[in-house]
Amino acid sequence: MFFKSKPMWGKKTKLKSSYDVVLIGGGLHSLATAYYLAKEHGITDVAIIEKNYIGYGGAGRNTAIVRANQRTQYNVPLYKEALDLWPVLTKELDYNLMFNNCGNLNLMHSEAAMNAARMNIATAQFHGVESHLIDAKEAKELVPALNISEDITFPIHGAMFHPPGGVVRHDAVVWGLAKGAAKMGVEIHQQTEATGISTKNGKVTAVVTDKGIINTKQVLISAGGYSASLIHGFLGIKLPISVLTIQAMVTQPLKPILDHVVSSGAYHCYANQTLKGEIATGAHMDQWPNYTTLNTAHYIKHQAEALSEFLPALRGVRFMRIWGGLADMTPDMAPIMDGNEQVEGFFMDCGWGYFGFKSCSAVGRHMASFMATNTCPDILKPFALKRYQEHRLMGETAALVNYTPDN
């Protein structure tokens, strides 16, 4: 089967009976955390436990878009750091992550939306992130395929143009970080399912897996969309999360037509052209929690209608592949990062919704520092679970698109 051969990041090792740190989930947040634990803190006795294979979940299912145009002062610096890290990681890992900062164009379809964009841009500029408001004509100059006429369902008034954003090859990040972490001694155990966490006197003592018990004092659950269910199942901790299936698809390959990431809240759709020429597009989330990761005819139709309105040159183009992934949404559209709070030695990094990919590099770095020093870095403090009890929800729901089954 798949895993008989030698993995690309090194030799397969046997699961030991104890590690300094165990990371549950073989996605980008775990891989990045492991990489920085080893690189910046010298902690190499680390095991990543993955039920399927690394990059099986959100890491391999997202549409590779990166940007730092979020709404609030807490989120923007984190995403900016992540954006700045792509070229650095490409060098450090000696692995081409294919970062293409082609720029993001968020289309606005009303004057109210233009005003919301002005606020977003003000936040971005305050934090030193390049972002401008442009009108429909300027948008058309950047992306000639856009339909800026007034006879479509949602005529384009203008756009928020965020030049430093773009696309990163998501699989390359998985492979690069896995190689980089493994080289420093991190063990990656695929086909290994975590089934429980043992505690004693309020402290983590072990992680139970289907391949045996691993003694450890520190464990991180960063298993993407599966985190909330695992955290509740293992420790009885409930989270303000709803897990929704989010869909994506690509068209047949075309000649170059789109050299920016274009997104629209009103049309509920984003699109960019991959290096292979396909138009990668998506955005729809099922409006009820489910773990199916399956597509719906409802959405494929919607997607075709939306694309053929604002990018009319795509009329008649066929979808070639469709897929779904999980988005673990919180009520304030901001993630939850916490540790040593509910149980000593237990850390969590979840609630990333559909923006876990964009943030993984910076978050891995800060989570590693959190775990290595047992001190929460200032940048992560506002993301603690306690904020919901204290009614200090983040204002990220004021961003340009927002989804939750609770609204």
Partner 1 sequence: MALTITCPICGKRNGYEFRYGGEEKGPRPDEKDLTPESWCDYVHMNKCVAGVQQEWWFHRDGCGSWFTIFRDTTTNLEKETPEAKE
Query: Using the rule CB under 8 A, is 405 a contact of partner 1?
Result: yes
Binders in 121-180 for partner 1, by CB under 8 A: none
Beta carbons within 8 Å of 302's beta carbon, 6+ residues apart: 268, 269, 284
Cβ 268 to partner 1 shortest distance, Å: 14
CB of 101 or CB of 296, closer to partner 1:
296
Q: Which stretch binds partner 1 (CB under 8 A): 57-65, 83-91, 116-124, 232-240?
A: 232-240
Q: Say how far apart CA 257 and CA 162 lie, in whole Å.
A: 19
Q: Count the Cβ atoms, other than its own, within 10 Å of residue 119.
A: 14
Query: Using the rule CB under 8 A, is 108 a contact of partner 1?
Result: no
Tell me which amino acid residue 77 is.
P
Binders in 297-336 for partner 1, by CB under 8 A: 297-298, 328, 331
Query: Using the rule CB under 8 A, is 210 a contact of partner 1?
Result: no
Rg (CA), the chain: 21
Cβ 264 to partner 1 shortest distance, Å: 21
Query: Using the rule CB under 8 A, is 294 a contact of partner 1?
Result: yes
Q: Which stretch binds partner 1 (CB under 8 A): 10-18, 178-186, 238-246, 311-319?
A: 238-246
Q: Say how far apart CA 77 and CA 208 lie, in whole Å.
A: 36
Triad 295, 296, 297: Cα angle to 5° = 130
Cβ 190 to partner 1 shortest distance, Å: 20
Which of the 8 DSSP states describes residue 18? B
CB of 64 or CB of 241, closer to partner 1:
241
Query: Using the rule CB under 8 A, is 406 a contact of partner 1?
Result: yes
Helical H segments across 127-238, by residue range: 136-142, 170-183, 227-235
Residue of 166, 103, 112 whose CA lies nearest to 139: 103
Query: Using the rule CB under 8 A, is 289 a contact of partner 1?
Result: yes
The residue assigned the tokens 């442009």 is: 134
Query: Using the rule CB under 8 A, is 240 a contact of partner 1?
Result: yes
Cβ 243 to partner 1 shortest distance, Å: 5
Binders in 380-399 for partner 1, by CB under 8 A: 388-391
Exposure pattern of 373-401 as b/e (b: 16+ CB <10 Å)? eeebeebbebbbbebeeeeeebbbbebbe
Binding site for partner 1 (CB under 8 A): 226, 228-229, 232, 238-243, 245, 286-292, 294-298, 328, 331, 388-391, 405-406
